[in-house]
Amino acid sequence: MTAWLLRRLVQAAFVVLAMTVILFIGLHVIGNPIDILISPEADQADRARAIAALGLDQPLWRQYALFLWGMLHGDLGRSFVFHEPALQLIGERLPATLELAVSAVLLAIVIGIPLGLYAGLYPNSLLGRSAMAGSILGFSLPTFWVGLMLIMLFAVRLGWLPSTGRGQTALLFGIRWSFLTRDGLAHLAMPAFNLALGNIALVLRLVRSGVRETLPLDYVRFARAKGLRPARVVGVHVMKNIMIPVVTVLGLEFGGTIAFSVVTESIFAWPGMGKLIIDSINVLDRPVIVAYLMIIVLMFVAINLVVDLLYTFLDPRVRLEDRG
Amino acid sequence: MTTVLDVRGLSTHFTTRAGIVRAVDDISFSVARGQVLGLVGESGSGKSVTGFSILGLIDPPGRIAAGRVLFHGVDLVALEERELRRLRGNRIAMIFQDPMMTLNPVLRIDTQMIETVRAHARVSHAEARTRARDALGMVGIASPEERLSAYPHQFSGGMRQRVAIAIALLHRPDLIIADEPTTALDVTIQAQILAEMQTLSREHGTAMIWITHDLSVVAGLADAIAVMYAGRIVETGSVGDVLDRPLHPYTHGLIGSVPSRNRRGARLRQIPGLTPSLLNLPAGCAFRGRCARADAACASDPPATEIAAGHVLRCFHPQLEVVA
Amino acid sequence: PPAARAQTLRVGASAPVTSIDPHYHTYSPNVSLDAHIYEPLVDMDAASRPIPRLALSWKLVDNTVWEFHLRPGVKFHNGEDFTAADVAYTIDRIPRVKNSPGSYAIYTKAISSVEVVDPHTIRLHTKQVYPLLPIDLTQVYIIPHTLGADPATEDFNSGKDAIGTGPFRFVSYKSGDRIEMDRNDNYWGPKPDWQHVSYRMIPNDAARTAALLSGDVDFIEAVPTTDVARLSHDKKLHLAETVSLRIIFLWLDHRGMTPHVTGPNGEKLDHNPLTDLRVRQALSMAINRNAIVDRIMQGAAIPSGQFLPKGSFSYVPGLNPPAYDPAKARQLLAAAGYPKGFRIELDGPNDRYVNDGKIIQAVGQMWSRIGVQTAVNAITWPSFIGQANKGAFSAFLLGWGTSSGEASNPLRSLIATRTPAKGWGAVNRGFYSNPKVDELLTTALATADDAAREKLLQQATTLAMDDVAFIPLHNQKNIWAMRAGLTYAARADETSRAQEVHPAK
Amino acid sequence: MSGMAEIAPAAPETPLQRFVRDFTSNRLAVGALVVVLLIALAAIFAPWITPQNPYDLAQLDIMDGRLPPGASSAAGMTYWLGTDDQGRDMLSGIIYGLRISLIVGIGSALIAGVVGSTLGLVAAYAGGRVETAIMRLVDLQLSFPAILVALMILAFLGKGIGNVMIALVLVEWARYARTARGAALVERRREYIEAAECLALPRWRVLFRHLLPNCLPPLIVIGTIQIARAITLEATLSFLGLGVPITEPSLGLLIANGYQYMLSGQYWISFYPGLALLLTIMAINLVGDQLRDVLNPRQQR
Amino acid sequence: MSEAMISLRAVSRQFGRHQDAAGRLARRVSRAFGAGACPEIVRAVDGVDLDIAPGEVVGLVGESGCGKSTLGRMVAGILPPSSGAVLWQGQDRAGLAPEALRAARLAVQMIFQDPYASLNPRLRVDAIVGEAPLVHGKVERAGLAAYVDAQLRRAGLDPADKRRYPHQFSGGQRQRIGIARALAVQPSMLVCDEAVAALDVSIQAQILNLFMDLRAELGLTYLFISHDLGVVEHLSDRVAIMYLGRIVEQAAVAEIFARPNHPYTQALLSEVPRIEARKRRFSAIKGELPSPLAPPAGCHFHPRCAHAMAVCRDVAPPLREVAPGHRSACHLNG
Ligand SMILES: Nc1ncnc2c1ncn2[C@@H]1O[C@H](COP(=O)(O)OP(=O)(O)OP(=O)(O)O)[C@@H](O)[C@H]1O
Ligand SMILES: Nc1ncnc2c1ncn2[C@@H]1O[C@H](COP(=O)(O)OP(=O)(O)OP(=O)(O)O)[C@@H](O)[C@H]1O
Ligand SMILES: [Mg+2]
Ligand SMILES: [Mg+2]
């Protein structure tokens, strides 16, 4: 067990290393943060001083070596822009994003799965057909567009929900969360739904397709022959068999939502990580980008690990022996 | 003797692109309390479909085209799905032919057994588990307690078959439809199971439809035999009638093909010709293409005629000589 | 409760603040926020003219010595008195702020030494004659010397060291989200109307407008030009606008060879047509500035022929943009030897200035119509600016905000011949060089007398513009929107100040 | 349906005929296919059918900008769907934009699908180090934001529609890989794979002919959705100047451009391109849904 | 026995707990959710030696779950043994070069016990049967359709149904598809795992005749796994009896049926149902069924054995020759 976890850990370390190398080279090629950050009125000396202050005067390999050295000491550097430890910056924003991502995935599960089941069981019913057609709306309209429409409708027209921001927060485990207060929940509703829309569609369609594949199989028929209630036949016998792609996709979407919910976050002025990374990319704030992507890559490694474990949970035939 | 099941003029058709497959075509038979009906016949002649039809488990593109299935006088074909569900697994149990595909691959054996118990009896989980374990023991699975928490793919073919049998036995049903239940069992285990079945039949009055190719088992177990060919029952009668005094040329051929009736190592006797595809059956007697005695009369449908008491035949040219 | 609400002003800002440390990063969103908490010696009024703030008055006592008389009775938020020591401390700190990506030292580097005369008099010595010092000091926010040696930027962000003399005191900062501030009840000047200010960052244009429409904020800056028409018709809202000091212009490459100009059929040219004045005039003349202002900017700009808008120091009266005249432009091209025009790539950012991408497309249309086949290429700022600095473009759009409010600043940074040692022409990305302009500028910068300096600057400006050093397009307007019942004196320097938002009388 | 029984078992159909017949059994899907074809035709023949070349700056005039649907230009041309802020005829713009969006969207989704699914299947089938390598690469890839990838591609390879597609493929392949692997992990344990191996079939054959078709249903779902995502992602990248040139807007870019005018009531600038996109995606999905049903032998007869 | 076509040398195969950590973790979590213990290691096949000569038909009979299918899979090269070696024509198959391995694999075909699970649900019958011969060049593309038809007909299927999918067939028809598939690649050895169990006797007769013809014509070798002792007796040259992972008796067919030596073999033969017997009373197993999870020490059969002695509980009896070519593992022979 420990050996296996260790192996995964070593692999994760390699992935992180690979990522940092790519980032150092890539960002170097994209441009020089000084060009963006420094006041255009600065003279050569100011410029040189700023470059030195950020350590950009060193050859790239040295910058990388310094970074590695820092990393070994738990220091991922400070943001060029904010002059705060990159990790701290990310840490401040992480709960907001996490909250948003979890809500979005939960919404996708509670709405997508039942609707998908229904559409699979009764493919020709009105609800089933509308769910399928409606789900197309969920992913073919750009997120920013839908987000704005939601704001126009629920905040401006109807005035039911606040338009932007995170609202009141309450403390839990020393972290501020919105979902604990009414106001916070009201602020959370629209962005979460906006983010969930695509995922709902995806889950719905996967479930429906799975149900259609599975329903005619012998073991479903046998389950019926045992006199089980349809809820159990569908909810257990069918569901458990079709969950692997759904879980895969949910894992991907969850990770993706945490990492890149940029559009939604900026439309709803949600102070999450997605905005941070985009802002950082825009000014080539390397320490933040590197630290951020390191966290994200570790998160994906972890999520995918959990998903892999879920596979063995869902289907005993999946064996992960010798699987990374 | 009370009639448990009375099938009248049952027809089940599958609509396919190439045409209608009349898998079951106007068959009638009945089974009384404590009685065992052996259903034998050509592979692909509609035995399994008959079983599914009785339980109302025919899925599109198949459908019951005609006929009635009276269970204790109630027509199952007309019964509502809810009512039917109460009977399935409880008063009528079916053992499916393909053990690999009938058990849900992702659910543990205990889950699949316990849910069957609890679908029809209000018992605690622990109680249900005990019953499941006992049933496993009854069908000759060693260390049932440990085996309960295994998954189907960890079982051998015969063990899976026994699980299916055990599930059928859980509720001491009035009627068991056993579709090739012991093909994958060695004779000592087979004997064990047949003994259990006999006990059940004797003590509980369970009626059975025993679909099999193993004529020797039917000979030892059944009270009556129905022989199917190409969707029709071509001969019915008591075991003695059919096995010792078969009249239909197909029954003759069948019995003649049993290896033990042939010299070791020699070519086995076989019925000449090829089983016709149900798609392009000739008009009239379906067997006439392979029948030595066929003549022009056979181009029309032979009616079911009662040759002797309880010995019904569909043939213009019964073959009276005794099989070798 | 409505009463409490009336006491609170919720501001929708358009860009994230990166730090509460007023000396960390020369970045306009920061400056905008800092003006709530801290104060400089000299401030700018709405039209960007210097006015006294913490200094009551200032004068040149010697060619290289400025004397400032400080306002007495001013207290910092922590109760300490404001004195000359604080000014000296601030000037001393600025060059030493750690890791500053854009140091405020550019505003203090002219100062060679600081002389505290008495608690309310301070003298600043410069190496050379430096008339711009008061203007530079408008960017220098004073912090108390009791913060000790080298206070850390984090301590400002946490609020510990966020202490100024401004009308509001810092309460909290949630990175990327909002800053909360309370009224400074001990403020020396007129008390703000707001007990509390919630300064929210809503960078997305549509979202910011929507937040105002839904009543989630009271006051927003940088109203998108697309929404101006609609908002101005809304009875529940009120708009305030003024011409900004920011000019949008096109750079043309003045080097002998240029990367993205080819002949009319795509053939390589052995010279750069843009070095020919007639070509530059033609390109400028071909642009219908009124159309751009009207159709693209939806009126939120004014066509421009020089660096600064009317009313600014060193504005040249009568120096207007050339009239739109495509026919004449064609003639000029033909005269310059390009009767069939040529091909050019017009580059620009598309996420930096208001409607930047659309403007270059429109210019592309107009140039195409005089036979200059224009390929328009808009890219995101980080890539764009890097390439622009490398001289990778032939013609490209940029903007320039003259924070000092006088032409010396753009002349020195944009137009003067590139001289890294002096810091001249630092962003002269068109590689323009005109010795006459340089000479005039040198003289102007050594002229302490405002009237004489203004003359020199006007001459230099006229010279550069007549030579089409770059093609000015327009000056943007700064537009604020607020709920009806509020007023705001729109500021040319783009900053949003809660203390200057008042309930309508 | 029962009418078919009367059809004598005629000459056996070719697989293609059968496929066509199966597909055409759903009228909605046929309608959708027609729409897809029409859209494709319109896109292909755009230069011949549009009233204006919306990519030729010399043909545009900002004085015609933001005209409502039905308005006419000074030159007398009618803008049936109005114009955008550059004075671009929306109808022409949409047809041209479709061209780019379809090429980029479908092209990149297809390439990413093929590459990703293959890698995912190989990972599941081969196991061991191969799988570890591929899956860690997936982890790595998943964590790169699209914009960063696009910026890097731009920096390394420069601009161009091909590079946009490379960026999109790079961003998207990992999803397919994980989905394919997830499905394949189960399927590869099934007995028919053993049977295929027993027949000593080449590995690639087992992979693509036996494993792949059984892993296909979720992949088709992802694929059809991914086309939509690719189109929107391309729009986002183009919007940031990392994609197609802004003077040659794709459908997504048209929407993104017009989006700013939603609040000011000039709805048509983003509404019609949005509608076109919706219609396209809907049609593609309906076709995809039907395809999935047709390819499912259980639904066949 | 260098002339053996395939020989098993102390081949074992175990399943179960020896899984990876992920599986263990998953299981541990699921246990936390209230499920009982999970199966321990199953020694499905335990040190089996077996030689099959070219052209020979070896019947493999045994209790259900004793490891016959597992053994068959190892012979067919689908499942690698946990220990021991499978020799193909005298060479360890694990050490063969890829090309040779491919040929060796192709030469041994398996007919699976579970017909449906072993058919690809997304391929039509003609593809299932025709793919491998085409790939391996056993037939030209032009002749493929005719070839497939012939294979189907030979297995007793009407070629008219060849464009159908597996789920559209009955159990017996599926099994015949499997037979046709295996035969279509013209193997030199067949592992028939309950190959005829789902067939009615007349078709069974047809298939068995086919097997015998193939043997006569092409010298095909068979490992014939079956519960139907009648079929085994009819077809086999030699019979091996398995019990709980071990071969307990091996002899020529006539010898076994005439003089069964091992008590399990004797029990088997006595339970064979006869078509002549009417309405007989079947009898339950006496004694305790041993579990492969915790196989009893010594002779695996002793809990059910009427002749069990003290030694049977402790010492596993080795296979001993009791007559020429007849070997049995029972202490009674000792
Ligand atoms: N879904 C279906 N579509 C078309 N034909 C079908 C379908 N299911 C079964 N059939 C046909 O119906 C006929 C009867 O099948 P059934 O399974 O009842 O046979 P069986 O008597 O049980 O045979 P076996 O002994 O081989 O199991 C077969 O010819 C089969 O091809
Ligand atoms: N994948 C597996 N995981 C765990 N145990 C397994 C697995 N496959 C088989 N077994 C176990 O191995 C033993 C032998 O199985 P095998 O399928 O070889 O039996 P068999 O002799 O073919 O039985 P049958 O006649 O019933 O088909 C059984 O106890 C079974 O539970
Ligand atoms: Mg059957
Ligand atoms: Mg087996």
Q: How much distance in Å is there from the Cα of B186 to the middle of ligand 3? A: 20
Q: What is the pLDDT of residue E2?
A: 47
Query: A269 or C475: whose pLDDT is higher?
Result: C475
Dist. CA B161 → ligand 2 center (Å) = 12
Separation of alpha carbons C124 and C240, rounded Å: 38
Pick from C1, C5, C97: nearest CA to C485: C5
Residues 205-234 on C with a CB inside 8 Å of D are: 205-206, 209-210, 213, 224, 226-227, 229-230
Yes or no, beta carbons of E167 and D295 under 8 Å apart: no
Segment holding C330, helix H or strand E: helix C326-335
Looking at the CA of residue E174, tell me the nearest atom of ligand 1: 26
pLDDT at C3: 46
Choose among D93, D242, D246: nearest CA to D165: D242
Best residue for ligand 1 mutational test, from B16, B278, B280 (most atoms within 8 Å of Cβ): B278
The mean per-residue pLDDT over the stretch B113-128 comes to 89
Contacts of residue E103 in chain D, CB cutoff 8 Å?
200
Whole-angstrom Cα distance, residue B152 to residue B149? 10
> What residues pair up with C346 in beta bridges, in sequence order?
C376, C395
Interface B-D, measured as beta-carbon pairs within 8 A, has a size of: 25
Range 99-138 of A in CB contact (< 8 A) with C? none
For residues C266 and C268, what is the distance between their CA atoms, to the nearest angstrom? 7
Domains for chain B: give ranges and CATH numbers: 3-81+176-188+202-314 (3.40.50.300), 92-170 (no CATH)
Which domains occur in chain E, in start order? 6-17+40-117+187-198+218-333 (3.40.50.300)
Q: Is the CB of A240 inside 8 Å of chain E's CB atoms?
A: no
D104-301 belongs to CATH 1.10.3720.10: yes
The per-residue pLDDT for D13 is 59
Q: What angle do CA C273, C275, C281 make, to 5 degrees?
A: 85
B31 C-beta neighbours (distance < 10 Å), count: 24
Q: Which amino acid is at E173?
A: Q
Task: Say yes or no for a CB contact (<8 Å) between B267 and E194.
Answer: no
Distance B21 CA to ligand 1 centre (A): 9
d(CA C5, CA E97): 84
The model's pLDDT over D130-141, given as tens digits with 9 standing for 90+, comes to 888 998 899 888
**Residue nearest (by alpha carbon) to ligand 1 atom 23:** B44
For residue E126, the SS3 value is helix
Cα separation values, E224 from D252, E2, E4, E9, E63, Å: 65, 22, 16, 19, 15
Q: Say yes or no: C420 contacts chain A, CB-CB below 8 A.
A: yes
Q: Sorting pLDDT into bands at 50, 70 and 90, what band is B323? A: low
Nearest one of E126, A160, A164, E322 to C207, comparing CA atoms: A164
Answer yes or no: is the C-beta of B155 below 6 A from any ligand 2 atom: yes
- Model pTM score: 0.87
- Strand-pair partners of C375: C345
Taking a C-beta distance cutoff of 8 angstroms, is the pair B164, B174 a contact?
no
On whether the CB atoms of residues C489 and C240 are closer than 8 A, the answer is yes
Which ligand sits nearest to residue D189's alpha carbon? 2
- The chain-wide mean pLDDT, for chain C, equals 89
Q: How far away, in angstroms, is B160 Cα from ligand 2 center?
A: 10
Sort C505 into a burial class: Cβ within 10 Å, 0-12 / 13-18 / 19+.
exposed
Q: Does A319 touch chain B (CB under 8 A)?
A: no
Residues 6+ apart with CB under 8 A from C415: C425, C428, C432, C434, C437, C441, C460, C464, C469, C470
Backbone angles phi, psi at C64, to 5 degrees: -120, 15
Q: Which range, of B212-216, D113-117, D243-247, E325-329, averages the lowest pLDDT?
A: D243-247
Do C and D touch, 3+ Cβ pairs within 8 Å? The answer is yes
For residue B17, give the 3-state DSSP assignment: coil
For a pocket test of ligand 1, which of B45, B64, B101, B250 has the largest count of ligand atoms closer than 8 A to its C-beta?
A: B45
Chain B: touching chains (3 or more CB pairs < 8 Å): A, D, E
Confidence category of residue E29, pLDDT binned at 50, 70, 90: low
- Confidence grade of residue A261 (pLDDT, cut at 50, 70, 90): confident
Position of tokens 């990166």? C18
d(CA B139, CA B164): 10
E70 inside 8 A of chain D by CB: no
Q: Where are the alpha helices (DSSP H) in D6-89?
A: 15-23, 27-44, 46-49
pLDDT of residue E31: 54
Angle of CA points C151, C153, C157, to nearest 5°: 120
From B221, B211, B212, B166, select the one nearest B191 (Cα to Cα): B221
State whether the Cα torsion A105-A110-A112-A117 is positive or negative: positive
Element (H, E) at A244: helix A239-260
Give the residue extent of every domain in chain D: 104-301
Instruction: Tell me how far apart the alpha carbons of residues B308 and C112 are, in angstroms, rounded to a whole number.
Output: 130
Instruction: Find where tokens 């910026």 sit.
Output: D151
Q: Give me the residue label for tokens 């296909």.
A: D216
From the CA of E156, the nearest ligand is: 1
Neighbouring CB atoms inside 10 A of C245's CB total 28
Contact B158 CB / ligand 2 (< 6 Å): yes
Structure tokens at D296: 């499912």
- Ligand that lies nearest to the alpha carbon of residue B156, given by its number in the listed order: 2
Q: Whose CA is nearest to atom 31 of ligand 1?
A: E169
> For residue C282, what pLDDT band results from cuts at 50, 70 and 90?
very high
Identity (one letter) of the amino acid at A122?
A: Y
Backbone angles phi, psi at E87, to 5 degrees: -100, 130
Q: Is the CB of B143 under 6 A from ligand 2?
A: no
Range with lowest mean pLDDT among A48-57, A295-304, D97-106, D113-122: A48-57
Residue C247: what pLDDT? 92
Which ligand is closest in space to the CA of residue E295? 2
Interface residues on D facing E, Cβ-Cβ cutoff 8 A: 9, 12-13, 18, 190-192, 194-202, 205, 209-210, 213-214, 295, 297-298, 300
Please report which helix (H) or strand (E) contains residue E184, including its range. Answer: helix E171-184
Asked if residue D266 has pLDDT above 70, the reply is yes
Chain B residue numbers with beta carbons less than 8 Å from the beta carbon of E151 are none
**For residues C496 and C201, is the Cβ–Cβ distance under 8 A?**
no
- Least-confidence region, from B40-54, B254-268, D12-26, E244-258: D12-26
Sole residue written with tokens 């059994």: D25
- Strand duo C42-44 + C178-183: pairing: unpaired
Q: Is B96 on the interface with A (CB under 8 A)?
A: yes
Mean pLDDT value of segment C44-72:
90
- Structural tokens at position B122: 């209000």
Kind of pairing between the strands at C121-126 and B232-238: unpaired
Of all residues in chain C, the percent with pLDDT exceeding 70 is 99
Q: Token digits for B219?
A: 């000979």
Distances (CA, A) of C58 to C84, D80, D203: 13, 65, 87
DSSP C102: B
Average pLDDT, chain A: 83
Task: For ligand 2, atom 31, name the residue with the nearest CA.
Answer: B155
pLDDT tens figures, D192-211? 998 998 888 888 889 988 99
- The contacts of residue E144 (CB under 8 Å, 6+ apart) are E130, E133, E134
Which positions in chain E touch D185 (Cβ < 8 Å)?
Answer: none
A24-44 tens-digit pLDDT: 888 888 888 887 777 777 777
**Contact residues on chain E for A220, CB-CB shorter than 8 A:** none
Q: Which residue's CA is minimally distant from atom 28 of ligand 2?
A: E65
Give the gap in angstroms from C-alpha C375 to the nearest C-alpha of chain A: 23
User: How far apart (Å, rounded) are the C-alpha atoms in residues B126 and B132?
Assistant: 10
For tokens 């191996």, the residue is: D197
Quick one: pLDDT at residue A3?
A: 67
- Which residues are within 8 A (CB) of D37 and not within 5 positions of it... i.e. 6 or more apart? none
Residue type, E1: M
* Nearest-CA distance E162 → chain D (Å): 10
CB D66 within 8 A of CB D269: yes
From the CA of B179, how far away is ligand 2's center (Å)? Answer: 22
Neighbours of ion ligand 3 (CB under 5 A): B 48, 97; E 170-171
Which chain B residues in 187-226 lie under 8 Å from chain E, judged by CB atoms? 187-192, 194-196, 198, 213-217, 219-221, 223
Distance from CA of D75 to the nearest CA of A (A): 33
Token pair for C470: 């770059």
Greater pLDDT, D293 or B159: B159
Touch C-E: 3+ C-beta pairs under 8 A: no
Count CA atoms within 13 Å of residue C486 on its CB side.
29
Nearest Cα residue in chain D from A281: D148
Which residues in chain A have their CB less than 8 angstroms from residue E116's CB?
218
Cβ–Cβ pairs < 8 A, chains D and E: 74
**What pLDDT shows up at residue C431?**
92
Q: Give the binding-site residues of ligand 1, using a 6 Å CB cut-off.
A: B 14, 16, 21, 23, 43-49, 62, 97, 278; E 168-173, 198
Interface predicted TM-score (ipTM)? 0.86
Ligand 2 atom 16 nearest Cα: E67
Q: Are strands E221-225 and E189-193 parallel, antiparallel or unpaired?
A: parallel
Q: Taking a C-beta distance cutoff of 8 angstroms, is the pair C222, C496 a contact?
A: no
C152-179 residue pLDDT tens: 888 888 888 999 999 999 998 887 788 9
Q: Closest partner residue to D9 among B61, B153, B280, by Cβ?
A: B280
The residues, ordered by sequence, that sit 6+ positions from B129 with a Cβ below 8 Å of its Cβ are B110, B114, B148
DSSP run (H or E) holding E104 = helix E98-107
Q: CA E284, E290, E291: angle at the middle one, nearest 5?
A: 120
Residues C118 and C84 sit within 8 Å (Cβ to Cβ): yes
Interface contact B279-E272, CB threshold 8 A: no
Cβ–Cβ gap A140/D282 under 8 Å: yes
Closest residue by CA, ligand 1 atom 4? E168
Q: Name residue E148's amino acid.
A: V
* Partner A contacted by E142 (CB < 8 A): no
Residue of higher predicted confidence among C482 and D258: C482
In the numeric block, which tokens belong to residue D69? 């649907």
In contact, B236 and B224? CB cutoff 8 Å:
yes
DSSP E200: -
